[in-house]
């Protein structure tokens, strides 16, 4: 009602400002036609558009990042490299060292330098595989700030960009593709860590990727030490349905047919509430009450579903909420002063950390 009133006031103001009434009416009708007819139909019949809107990989900020020099992004002691995940796909990866190892890095980029980094993954410090959300890259500010928090806790962090993002291969992403990328990077780490605990951390869309990937890995008998889900949704259909931008279309007849039904056929499913049934590892869910991108209620739904669908005797699931008064919104939970203690307690309860 408020939106309609504001739109009416806008039209009246145009008319009062001297624009011909007929022009105002035609412009209004054309806007409504495009907004409520053309856009929904184009979305429904265009898998390419659906993938672009879900992954937003064309939004690449910050610009002019030299991924080969992460120290310019305030990450000294970080190695940039590339992993081939398929014949035509490689992904860009950063290995961010724990704080206590930064001063020990060999000075020159040599074979010994590379071997030193890889060997360090097996030094029994925890290793975090970080799977980011849509838009931008591993060099985005809030992601770097989280790496710093984890680095200060003396953890290794391995972060990468899925296909289609940043300096990874310019291949259009879909769910199976990005999940495959995540599993290849996971196996690269697994082969090098020895007895070091390996945790998987997903944020936003990355929670859909990580829950799917970890569910698959657990079915294959490879269980990570734990799974951390920051600002997660229960499934992509509910995320789109309750996203603020969908409020313009949500009450339209055939909304689900227009916007939700075609997703699975386009390779975009992300049913975390189904995949979490297969996750045989402790799960920690972090969510802020003032999250407008992924509503808090969707994180709660995923938590409640996990309690119901995982088999009896499965490792624990824990939900930690952050009050709206903290202002952490969708991507600033890393600012919570209690976060390191929450993580240490959870990882300790998981029975895997050795420090």
Q: Which residues contact 171 (CB under 8 A, 6 or more apart)?
A: 88, 89, 163, 164, 177
pLDDT, tens digit (0-9, with 9 covering 90-100), for 109-127: 667 888 999 999 999 999 9
Cβ–Cβ contacts within 10 Å for residue 167, how many?
20
Query: How far are the Cα atoms of 95, 180, 293, 310 from residue 314, in angstroms, in the given order?
Result: 31, 25, 30, 6
* CA dist., res. 327 & res. 150, Å (int): 21
Write out pLDDT tens, residues 300-332.
999 999 999 999 899 999 999 999 999 999 999
Query: Which letter does DSSP use for residue 198 in this model?
Result: E
Q: Domain locations in the chain?
A: 2-45, 59-349
In tens, the pLDDT along 71-86 reads 999 999 999 999 999 9
Residue 280, pLDDT above cutoff 60: yes
- Banded model confidence at residue 139, pLDDT cuts 50, 70, 90: very high
| Confidence band of 353 (pLDDT split at 50, 70, 90) | very low
- Options 3.20.20.370, 3.40.50.10190, 3.30.70.2660, 3.40.50.1820; CATH for 59-349 is 3.40.50.1820
Q: Considering the chain, what percentage of its residues have pLDDT values greater than 70?
A: 87
% of the chain beyond a pLDDT of 90: 69
Orientation of helix 2-16 relative to helix 21-33, angle to 10°: 150
Residue 132, Cα to own-chain centre: how many angstroms? 4
Q: Is residue 13 among the annotated active site residues?
A: no
Q: Is 112 a catalytic residue?
A: no
The 8-class DSSP code of residue 95 comes to E
Tell me whether residue 291 is one of the annotated catalytic residues. yes
Q: What is the pTM (predicted TM-score) of this model?
A: 0.89
Catalytic residue among 169, 204, 210, 231: 204
């Amino acid at each position: 009602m408020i939106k309609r009133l504001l739109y009416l006031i806008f039209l009246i103001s145009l008319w009062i400002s001297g624009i011909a009434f007929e022009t105002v009416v035609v412009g209004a009708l054309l806007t409504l036609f495009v907004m409520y007819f053309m856009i929904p139909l184009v979305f429904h019949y265009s898998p390419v558009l659906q993938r672009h809107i879900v992954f937003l990989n064309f939004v690449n900020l910050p610009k002019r990042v030299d991924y080969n020099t992460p120290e310019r992004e305030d990450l000294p002691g970080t190695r940039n490299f590339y992993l081939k995940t398929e014949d035509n796909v490689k992904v860009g990866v950063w290995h961010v060292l724990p704080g206590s190892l930064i001063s020990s890095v060999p000075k020159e980029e040599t074979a010994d330098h590379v071997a030193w980094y890889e060997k360090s993954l097996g030094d029994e410090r925890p290793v975090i595989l970080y799977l980011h959300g849509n838009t931008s890259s591993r060099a985005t500010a809030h992601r770097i700030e989280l790496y710093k928090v984890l680095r200060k806790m003396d953890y290794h962090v391995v972060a990468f960009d899925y296909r289609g993002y940043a300096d990874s291969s310019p291949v259009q992403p879909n769910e199976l593709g990005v999940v495959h990328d995540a599993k290849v990077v996971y196996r690269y780490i697994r082969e090098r860590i020895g007895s070091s605990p390996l945790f998987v951390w997903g944020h936003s869309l990355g929670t859909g990727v990580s829950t799917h990937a970890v569910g698959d890995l657990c079915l294959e008998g490879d269980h990570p030490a734990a799974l951390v889900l920051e600002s997660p949704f229960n499934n992509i259909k509910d995320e789109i349905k309750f996203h603020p931008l969908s409020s313009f279309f949500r009450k339209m007849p055939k909304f689900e047919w227009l916007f939700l039904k075609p997703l699975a056929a386009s390779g975009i499913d992300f049913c975390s509430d189904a995949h979490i049934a297969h996750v045989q590892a402790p799960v920690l869910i972090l969510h802020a009450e003032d999250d407008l991108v992924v509503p808090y209620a969707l994180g709660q739904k995923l938590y409640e579903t996990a309690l119901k669908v995982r088999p009896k005797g499965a490792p624990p699931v824990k939900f930690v909420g952050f009050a709206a008064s903290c202002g952490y919104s969708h991507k600033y939970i890393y600012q919570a002063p209690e976060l390191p203690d929450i993580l240490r307690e959870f990882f300790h309860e998981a029975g895997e950390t050795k420090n």
